[in-house]
Chains A and B, each alone.
Chain A
Amino acid sequence: MGSRSALLVVAIASSMGCATARIHDERSAAPSSPSAPVIAVPFHAQEAYECGPAALAMTLGWSGLEIAPADIVGEVFTPGRKGSIQTDLVAAARRRDRVAYVVHGRDELLAEIAAGNPVIVLQNLGLSWLPRWHYAVAVGHDTTRGAFVLHSGRDANRAVGEATFAHTWRRADEWGLLTLPPERIAATADEQRWLAAGVGLEQAGRVQAAGAAYGAAIKRWPESLAARIGLANVEYAGGDFAAAERSLRSAIAGHPTAAVAWNNLAQLLGERGRKTEAIEAARRAVALGGPDIDVYKDTLEAIERR
Chain B
Amino acid sequence: MRFPKTFAKAVAVVVAPALLVCMTAQSTAAAMVSTARVVAAAAQPDARAAVNAFIARGDVQDVMTRWGVDPEEANARVAALTDEEVSDLAARIEAMPAGGEVVGIIVGAILLVFFVLLLTDLLGLTDIFPFIKKKH
Q: Which A residues lie at the B interface, using CB under 8 A? A: 5, 8-9, 11-12, 15-19, 22-28, 48-52, 55, 74-75, 77-88, 90-92, 94-95, 122-127, 130-135, 145-147, 159-164, 167-168, 172, 192, 195-196, 198-200, 202-205, 210, 214, 225-226, 229-230, 233-234, 236, 260, 263-264, 267-268, 291-292, 294-296, 298-299, 301-302
Q: Which B residues lie at the A interface, using CB under 8 A? A: 24, 27-42, 44, 64, 66-70, 73, 76-82, 85, 89, 93, 96-103, 105, 107, 110-111, 113-114, 116-117, 120, 124-131, 133-136
A52 adjacent to B99 (CB under 8 Å): yes
With known contacts A9-B107, A12-B113, A79-B67, A164–B101 Cβ distance under 8 A: no
A226 adjacent to B124 (CB under 8 Å): no
A133 adjacent to B100 (CB under 8 Å): yes
Closest to A196 in B: B39
B98 adjacent to A260 (CB under 8 Å): no
Extra 10 A-B pairs, beta carbons < 8 Å, given A172-B97, A230-B35, A263-B33: A48-B100, A55-B99, A78-B68, A80-B66, A91-B78, A133-B99, A199-B39, A264-B32, A292-B37, A298-B27
Chain A residues in 8 Å Cβ range of B34 = 233
Tell me, in angstroms, the Cα distance from A190 to B122 when the chains sit together. 41
Closest to B113 in A: A130
Interface residue from A5, A91, A296 paired with B111 (Cβ < 8 Å): A5
B107 adjacent to A133 (CB under 8 Å): no
B79 adjacent to A204 (CB under 8 Å): yes
Tell me, in angstroms, the Cα distance from A138 to B79 when the chains sit together. 28
A163 adjacent to B124 (CB under 8 Å): yes
Chain A residues in 8 Å Cβ range of B100 = 17-18, 48-52, 77, 81-84, 133-135
Closest to A248 in B: B32
B39 adjacent to A230 (CB under 8 Å): yes
A203 adjacent to B80 (CB under 8 Å): yes
Chain B residues in 8 Å Cβ range of A260 = 33, 37-38
Chain A residues in 8 Å Cβ range of B81 = 87, 90-91, 200, 203
Q: Is the interface of B mostly helix, strand, loop or mixed?
A: loop
B30 adjacent to A267 (CB under 8 Å): yes
Q: Tell me the minimal C-beta distance from A160 to chain B in angstroms.
A: 7
Q: Is the interface of A mostly helix, strand, loop or mixed?
A: helix
Q: Can you list 28 A-B contacts with CB-CB less than 8 angstroms, sorted by A residue number?
A: A19-B102, A24-B130, A25-B130, A52-B100, A79-B68, A82-B101, A85-B98, A90-B80, A91-B81, A92-B80, A126-B128, A127-B120, A130-B117, A131-B97, A133-B99, A134-B100, A147-B136, A161-B135, A161-B136, A163-B124, A168-B126, A192-B39, A203-B79, A226-B38, A230-B39, A260-B33, A298-B27, A301-B28
Interface residue from B41, B76, B98, B128 paired with A82 (Cβ < 8 Å): B98
Chain A residues in 8 Å Cβ range of B85 = 87, 90, 200
Chain B residues in 8 Å Cβ range of A160 = 127
B27 adjacent to A199 (CB under 8 Å): no
Interface residue from B30, B37, B130 paired with A27 (Cβ < 8 Å): B130
A302 adjacent to B38 (CB under 8 Å): no
Tell me, in angstroms, the Cα distance from A81 to B104 when the chains sit together. 12
Chain A residues in 8 Å Cβ range of B125 = 164, 167
B69 adjacent to A122 (CB under 8 Å): no
